[in-house]
Structure 1
Amino acid sequence: MLKKLLLAVLFLSTSLSAQDYFLKKYHPFNSSIPTPEEFLGYGIGEKHTRHDLIVNYFIKLSEVSDRASIQEYGKTHEGRKLVILTVTSPENLGNLEQLKAKHLQFTDPSKNPTNYDEVPIFINLGYNVHGNEPSSSEAALLAAYTLIASNNPEILNYLNKGVIFIDPTINPDGRDRHTQWANMYQGNPLVADPQDAEHNEYWPRGRTNHYWFDLNRDWLLGINPESRGKLTWYHEWYPNVVTDFHEMGTQSSYFFEPMKDNGSLNPIMPKENYVDLNNLFGDYFSKALDSIGSFYFTKEAFDGTYPGYGSSYPDLQGGLGLLFEQASSRGHKQTTDFGEITFPFTIRNQYISSMTTIKAAVENKGMLRKYQQDFFKSALGNASKSKVKGYSFKDEYDPNRVKAFVDKLLLHKIDVYKSGSSYVVPTRQPQYRMVQTMFETYAKYKDSVYYDASAWSVANFYNMDYRPVNTLNLGEKVVSTKNLVSPGPVKKTDYAYIIDYDDYNATAALYHLQSKGLVISSSFKPFTAKTSNGNKKFNYGALVIPVSLQKKDSDAVFKLIQEVQNKYQVPIYTTGTGYNSQGIDLGSRWVSPITKPKAAMIIGNGVRSYEAGEVWHLLDTRVHMPITKIPVRNFGWANLDKYNTLVMVSGGYDFSKKNLEKIKSWVSKGNTLITIGTASKWAIDKELIEEKLTEKEKDSTKTAVRKPYVNAPENIGKERVGGVILKVDLDITHPLGFGYHDSSIPVYKNNTVWLSPSKNDYATVAKYSKNPHIDGFITKKNMEENLKPSASLIVSKLGSGRVVLFADNPNFRGSWYGTNRLFLNALFLGDKIRIPE
């Protein structure tokens, strides 16, 4: 039966029969509404549809129908439109603002509406967050057409009782990257051979967005414009049901919720969500897919433990998030163990699930509304039961990093207050569960194998100095970050300006001034200077701009100083003397000019695109510094002498002996190689440097213990470090530690790279603390045998140069503001590191 269904579409020749493969259940259709095929010029599934065509079709539908309106909620990094098509009955559409006001009363714990069945249910159909999982966006076209053109009584009932928001492509940049690939290599006749180019994209593939971020991990972190736009929209509407359509391996079948059990010991989402509602909707999906002969599975894979998925974030907002995973044709037709899977077949499963989601939501709208109301009321109730009444945080040295964290809280509609020099987040608020997500940490878990991270306390991402409080002094509510940081205006001097390097934006200010031709120095010891603001103590790394030593006159220098302060809001001080009241003087040999970084990064097949994208994104969007991306395939003839810094992120680098020697020779000339994660292991394995990995001697007398075969994936998987937050002891006197005041900082580990501390007394910059665990699951074996004896950050001498080895990713998902500084210091100060023999 399955094979027949897979093959059936290949023999559809007429437009009517091709349409009926998807739509026959919902006749009759309004002939004045153009079908997707009429608009596109080809049948759904015959080609992969570009995002601009999807948007234009939605615009057309909104123009010709009184059932639809379209809204643009943002733009991608590459400028593509992010749109939502709202579809409902003409009467509902005309009263949408009034319906929204009634709907939002159910999210307000201070209100007590009981008209659960009277207000239409709000449904968000979300598609294609991973660009190379394309079937769902095609299904979005079919769903939109069905809801707008069908006059079937079932559809009319959905429109009367529901408001459906269709987001056809959450990741347009990635989708179009894949669409171009699939259409470019499409054969005629179609080629089903899995080895064909059509089914094997080139690096970085279409899964990710412009900066190679996985947007399905970005709902919590809100780093990219795609996610920020969607979150802003989400908190305007609070839909009751949200879909999250994906694809998986070609040899699989179809997945819908319920998921694998949540890995948390006490999940913060209500049990009614992941048990009652998931099973209720699961019954609908099974019947619908049974009716067309599709096979599927539930429960055994995928978990909603991490709150930043498109299928888990809604669960923390009183809605029901639903994950779907379709076996991918990865092109138009591909051979599998079950026969040939076609693109139209994958689209039909997603389309059927879309329409079934609407059916289940409409038929249970009273229950869903009551659930959402109870969700927000229980948030207040749960908070009242907790001994923790709020969280206080501050960082007197780095206001711009604090500002970035406050921005993250406000993005999720978390109430924040300014109380003196601290900020306070009360727990008793409707977004209590998001407050838990931001601040709570855990050591005990129900499960040991996770689909993604087991640690996400976002306050630790930002290295926030925070603590729970039992009494509250709220102060003034923060509603915007607009004027949260406002350093006093800098005064003109003919002697020197000093930039406080403790601020997160200091490296961006440094590069901006270097790019304008100024010479900037860094202080390698603290000092107290006589400034126009009085005596001011400066930490390691303070930036000194001597006016008389510049090639520009003092007026031009002052103009640049004003410009950089206005742009980055960094604290800048003026002094008229180089003689300091304490510490070194400004003319000291410990104040050294900083070389402008000229950086390159190796990318391409074998390189972990996520990590490469995080480096690119950090430098592009926060430092505004270019980095040359050298493909692996071009490395042999690349001229490395153009650069003073080379970045290698995690990956498998299959370099020839000649290319390995090329890197070694280049570093030895005095340059800096920065390695992250498995690239650090690679550098040690290839004996590029004289460092070692932490290894426990194997007991040759130990015999294997017989275990059940079925448990192998769980037993082996739990030793993988999926994502844990750990504490390290940082040498803040080392150039890589400049800008930090506290030697104890959190880092994020999601690999099994264990660096042995260097034999050089001065080369281990950060080592895991004696009691390193902060948040997340890690086995006792990994903790005791691998982690505790190991280092997180080492600098190793190589000739006149050095290799900076990060065991952990300092730029994880663009969100680790707390460790970005370590990486940026390696870029800007790497050549200043002198490793004593």
Structure 2
Amino acid sequence: MTSSKLLFTMVLCAIMVLPLSAQDYFLKNKGPFNPEIPSPEEFLGRPIGAQHTRHDLIVAYLTKLAELSDRAEIEIYGQTHEMRKLVMLRISTPENLKNLESLKQEHLKFVDPSQNPTNYDALPIFIQLGYNVHGNEPSSSEAALLTAYTLVASNNPEVKNYLENSVIFIDPTINPDGRDRHTQWANQFLAKEIVSDAADAEHNETWPRGRTNHYWFDLNRDWLLAVHPESQGKLKWYHQWYPNVVTDFHEMGTNSNHFFEPMKPNGSLDPIMPKENYQDLNDMFAKYFVSALDEIGSFYFTKEAFDGTYPGYGSSYPDLQGALALLFEQASSRGHLQDTDYGTISFAFTIRNQYTSSFATIKAAVENKAYLRQYQQTFFKTALSEKIPTGFTAYEFGDAYDNNRNKAFVDYLLKHKIKVYKNGNKFTVPLKQPQRRMVQSMFETYSKYRDSVFYDASAWSVANFYNMDYSGLKTANLGEEVTSTESINKVVSVPKSDYAYIMDWDDYYAPSALYYMQSRGIIAASAFKPFSSKTNSGDKDFNYGSIMIPVSKQQELTSDEVYQIVKEAQDKFNVPIYSANTGFSIKGIDLGSNNFRAVKKPKAAMLIGDGVNSYEAGEVWHLLDTRAKMPITKLQTNTIRGNWLEKYNTLVMVSGSYNTIDSIQRQTIRDWTANGNTLITIGSASKWVIDQKLVKEKLTTKPKSKDKDEKEASEKVERLPYVDASENLGREQVGGAIFEVDLDVTHPLGFGYRAGKLPVYKNNNVFLAPSTSQYGTVAKYTENPHIDGYISGDNLNIYLKPSASLIVSQLGSGRVVMFADNPNFRGAWYGTNKLFLNALFFGSNISVPRARN
């Protein structure tokens, strides 16, 4: 017996299963198999479950199936940040695949409300099996290999019936970058004598772990936001096929069992998806999962956990496309074998449950295909016929000063096949369209909920993410449909000047253009007061923060070289830049005023590693790397030594515990900041600098009662049922909601904003008291701040309303920029990114003056 066979036998023994062969453990009763089609075990040279399979081998195996069998075809639908292929294996009968394009066109008639087909049972059902969106939840990709092999190679009558009545799309690895990160970890610590001890390195990845993609984003939150190429490729594929059933396979804690839907009730009081989805269809499919898992003796649970309230999961987004999306959660071995409260759990066991649920899904879909297809048809027809509770017929939006942000939002809507129209300077999105429920998701806000504890965010009105000024319309003149965004932001090409160039700071990509010019030697200054100037485009009003490039002061560059760089920046980022031939302004400050202040090129670093929130760190890295096009040095907290900050003028600390930062390192941060540099903190890092007394600021606390009797009454402990503890504690967490702040647009951190009111995203319980300086509170929550999402009454009234969202605190000659909220949440908060970028570019020009008493 080979070492791999021995290894796999040990795994199976651990779960008290002794099959005739390793493959029989999974494939029992699924044969006979075509001997000309290699099994995964034969292709890989080892049994499934003996190791974790790299993504390239997964792709290679599926490619081999497509080469050898007329039951399968493979397509590449995208690639990851790390250039790994995203593939989809199509499986059906040879006849169905030969006629797939015509079957697709017939299928798409059911998602077109203008069509009225009734042949619900005549077409094969479209099933999309999606696996491994979280890279360190690896069992499902292994199950994908077994599922693909069974469908392609089995001549079992049951399997052949599935092929006849369905087209199955297998996406084996939604997150290849994260999967391979975890695969390398698990395999490198795998011993010949398998270690089941949960403390072993095999079961404990190092930061940032394999759950996330290259930039440390959770791709299972990105279906709605569509920030990353993995999701963008999947959405493009999805809206070409509109499958009827979609799976979303996950893993959870080792001491759990197996979860399938129904979930806990949707947290929204009035969910926009039809109740037939989360009631009838879930119950219909659950019977199949019960039967299949009972047959192999697996334990499971339903209804108690998880919810599909947020529409951006793989288990919720398809629900808003007329499909049934299904969540599966499998207890994880987090390696190859691990101790649990009930003995050991093996990798092979977790794979078998995912494989079993895959085939139970296929069976349920095939046996109910007419119902599913009619449901999908009704879903899209009712999108046009149902009355909208708000009474609106459309939403209108548009920003008069930032066409790049307008373009980004319209691009985003088009990715979701939402129809957008342009009428003058405004954009209109009608509600009477097939994607009506998606339109509601983008614009509607809520304040009342069925539940107060959410698995994820409770607010997702994406128009607020983009800081779009929008309104609902009772009647609308649509204008011309937008099918391409190329013409949305046409800028006038800047002509050459021998005096100065001026760039609006209102534009989303102005920081990107500025860094591009600075990195090529341009010296630039920012306007700390507004002004009006004569330009090549006539008289032009310029806002706070506008960038001026004085040609004669570029000591290392000629006039022609300056122009070339400025022109390149404009062409690259499509930002408004103007030529000026005089320093005399029509009104406001002149170009030679001391209220123009030189802008230092950011030299930024960020702390990462154990104790640091990898999501937030990834959001900063992604923003700077992919949009601002500027580098940021990622400093691991366990490697910083000596004068580790001397090369930088800006340090970013995102949420985290920072328990590994010792007293010497804290003093280094303090001294470096006090020496004129900028420390930027987000979320709990802002609390950390207060707790460590780096700044003389405070957190908002509950007011103390002045009345003795009231104080005694408030301190009396109320007795509550133990079973309600998790719900009671959970509702006091701010899991993700949107609030309005009053922003000081005259402050350098507010440069580029015109309106004083701004939506911000809060997903923490960090409440900053307004600054001890009269000029240090840059953004404070308004009197009625709630825009969207759940927050408890105490958190809203006692903590949030009196608090600040953004403050600056002086520390020696430097400053600490403290964000209570996350300005870069999930790479989608275009509206508040500039607050963060302003801290990078203008930090060195920020002081915190104190008024005389």
Q: TM-score range by the shorter chain?
A: over 0.9
Letter in 1 for 2:579: T
2:617 — aligned with what? 612
Cross-structure match for 1:775:
788
| Corresponding residue of 2:699 | 693
Deviations 1:420-470 (A, max 9, x none): 000000000000000000000001111000000000000000000000011
Residue-by-residue CA offset, 1:121-173 (whole Å, 9 max, x unaligned): 00000000000000000000000000000000000000000000000000000
Q: 1:26 maps to what in 2?
A: 30
Structure 2: runs of 5+ lacking an equivalent: 1-8, 706-710
Q: In 2 relative to 1, CA 300–13 (structure 1 residues): closer, same or farther, beyond 3 Å? A: closer
Alignment of 1:41-60 (within 5 A): 41-60=45-64
CA distance in 2, matches of 1:36, 1:278: 32
Once residues 637 and 436 of structure 1 are traced to their aligned partners in structure 2, the CA distance between those partners, rounded to angstroms, is 54
Report deviation, 1:8: 4.0
Q: In structure 1, how many angstroms separate the alpha carbons of the residues matched to 2:44 and 2:643? A: 44
**1:261-300 pair list within 5 angstroms:** 261-300=265-304
Mapped partners of 1:130, 1:406: distance in 2:
29
Report the equivalent of 2:573: 568
3-state SS of paired residue (2:187) = helix
- Tell me how far apart the structure 2 counterparts of residues 624 and 6 of structure 1 sit (CA, whole Å): 48
1:722 to 709, 726, 735: 735
Identity of aligned residues (%): 66
Mapped partners of 2:643, 2:190: distance in 1: 33
Structure 2: distance between partners of 1:638 and 1:589: 34
Distance 1:666 1:384, change over 3 A: closer
The equivalent residue for 1:134 is 138
Asked if 1:641 corresponds to 2:646, the answer is yes
Deviation at 1:17, TM superposition (A): 1.1
For residue 283 of structure 1, give the secondary structure of its aligned residue in structure 2: helix
**SS in structure 1 at match of 2:640:** helix
Out of 574, 579, 584, the residue aligned to residue 579 of structure 1 is 584
Structure 1 counterpart of 2:3: none
Partners in 1 of 2:808 and 2:390 — Cα distance? 45
> Would you say the 8 A contact 1:132–1:175 is kept in 2?
yes
Deviation larger for 467-476 or 436-445:
467-476
Shift of 1:557: 1.2
In the alignment, the residues of structure 2 paired with residue 709 and residue 786 of structure 1 have an alpha-carbon distance, to the nearest angstrom, of: 26
Aligned 8 A contact 1:383 1:432 in 2: no
2:815 aligned to 792, 802, 806, which one?
802
Amino acid at match of 1:799: G
Amino acid at match of 2:775: Y
The answer to whether the Cα contact below 8 Å between 1:678 and 1:753 also exists between their aligned partners in 2 is yes
Does residue 656 in structure 1 map to residue 662 in structure 2?
Answer: yes
Question: How far does residue 553 in structure 1 lie from its aligned partner after superposition?
Answer: 1.2
Are 1:196 and 2:200 an aligned pair?
yes
Check conservation: 1:384, 1:428, Cα contact below 8 A.
no
Secondary structure of 2:457 counterpart: coil
Deviation of the 1:11 alpha carbon: 7.5
Displacement of 1:697 in angstroms is 4.2
In structure 1, what is the equivalent of residue 501 of structure 2?
497
Q: What does the per-residue CA deviation read over 1:453-488, in whole Å, with 9 as the maximum and x for residues that have no partner?
A: 000000000000000011111111111122321101
Task: State the distance in 2 between where 1:805 and 1:126 align.
Answer: 40
Query: With structure 1 as the length reference, what TM-score do the two structures score?
Result: 0.98
Aligned equivalents of 2:687, 2:840: Cα separation in 1? 20
With structure 2 as the length reference, what TM-score do the two structures score?
0.97
Q: Kindly indicate whether the alpha-carbon contact (under 8 Å) linking 2:12 and 2:348 is maintained by their aligned counterparts in 1.
A: no
> After the TM superposition, which residues 363-382 of structure 1 pair with which residues of structure 2 at under 5 Å, given as runs?
363-382=367-386
Cα distance in 2 for residues equivalent to 1:266 and 1:766: 33
C-alpha separation between the residues in 2 aligned to 1:656 and 1:224? 36
How far 1:386 sits from its partner (Å)?
5.3
Partner residue of 2:603? 598
* Deviations 1:225-265, CA, capped at 9 Å, x for gaps: 00000000000000000000000000100100000000000
User: How far did residue 696 of structure 1 move?
Assistant: 1.1
Q: Secondary structure at the match of 2:739?
A: strand
Does the CA-based 8 Å contact 1:383-1:389 persist in structure 2? Answer: no
> What is the Cα deviation at residue 759 of structure 1?
1.8
Per the alignment, residue 535 of structure 1 pairs with 539
Q: From 215, 219, 222, give the equivalent of 1:218.
A: 222
Residue matched to 1:81:
85
Q: Which amino acid aligns with 2:623?
A: L
Partner of 1:425: 429
After superposition, the CA RMSD in angstroms is 1.3
- Unmatched 5+ stretches in structure 1: none
Match of 1:740 in 2: 753
Provide the C-alpha distance between the structure 2 equivalents of 1:489 and 1:218, rounded to a whole number of angstroms: 36
- Once the two structures are superposed, residues 513-539 of structure 1 have per-residue CA deviations (whole angstroms, 9 ceiling, x without a partner) of 000111011000000001111110000
C-alpha distance in 1, partners of 2:125/2:218?
30
SS in 1 for 2:235: helix
The whole-number CA distance in structure 2 between the counterparts of 1:12 and 1:493 is: 80
Indicate the residue corresponding to 2:4 in structure 1: none
Q: Does the aligned pair in 2 maintain the 1:6–1:339 contact within 8 Å?
A: no
SS in 2 for 1:642: coil
Alignment of 1:60-99 (within 5 A): 60-99=64-103
User: Aligned with 1:220: secondary structure?
Assistant: helix
| In the alignment, structure 1 residue 812 sits paired with structure 2 residue 820 | no
Of 88-97 and 467-476, more deviation after overlay is shown by: 467-476
SS at 1:247 equivalent: strand
Task: State yes or no: 1:552 paired with 2:561.
Answer: no
The Cα shift of 1:636 comes to: 2.9
Matched letter for residue 217 of structure 1: R
Residue 218 of structure 1, CA deviation: 0.1
CA contact (8 A) 1:9 1:21 kept: no
Q: 1:80 to 1:638 in 2, by over 3 A?
A: farther
Match of residue 829 from structure 1? 842
Match of 2:628 in 1: 623
**Amino acid aligned to 2:538:** G
**2:5 aligned residue:** none
Deviations 1:347-385 (A, max 9, x none): 000000001100000000000000000000011112567
**Cα distance in structure 1, aligned partners of 2:32 and 2:642:** 63
Q: Partner residue of 1:233? A: 237
Contact 1:383 1:427 in 2 (8 A): no
Give the SS at the match of 1:216.
helix
CA distance in 2, matches of 1:671, 1:487: 35
SS in 1 for 2:467: coil
Contact 2:732 2:792 in 1 (8 A): yes
2:112 to 108, 111, 135: 108
Question: In structure 1, how many angstroms separate the alpha carbons of the residues matched to 2:241 and 2:679?
Answer: 48
Alpha-carbon distance between aligned partners in 2 of 1:559 and 1:12, rounded to the nearest angstrom: 71
- The number of aligned residues is 833
Helix, strand or coil at the partner of 1:276: helix
**Residues 397 and 469 of structure 2 are in contact (CA less than 8 Å); yes or no, is this contact kept in structure 1?**
yes
Deviations 1:559-603, CA, capped at 9 Å, x for gaps: 111111111000011110000010000000000110000000000
The whole-number CA distance in structure 2 between the counterparts of 1:13 and 1:529 is: 83
1:657-700 CA distances to partner (integer Å, 9 max, x unpaired)?
A: 11111100000000000000000000000100000000114666
- In structure 1, what residue type is equivalent to 2:688? W
Give, in angstroms, the shift of residue 637 of structure 1.
3.6
Amino acid in the other structure paired with 2:768 = L
CA shift, 1:495, in A, is: 0.6
What is the match of residue 450 of structure 2? 446
The reply on whether 1:789 has 2:793 as its aligned counterpart is: no
Corresponding residue SS for 2:184: helix
Partner Cα separation in structure 1 for residue 16 and residue 818 of structure 2:
57
User: Does residue 394 of structure 1 match 2:407?
Assistant: no
Matched residue type, 2:686:
S
- What per-residue deviation string (whole Å, max 9, x for no partner) do you get for residues 810-834 of structure 1? 0000000000000000000001002
Instruction: Give 1:677's aligned residue.
Output: 683
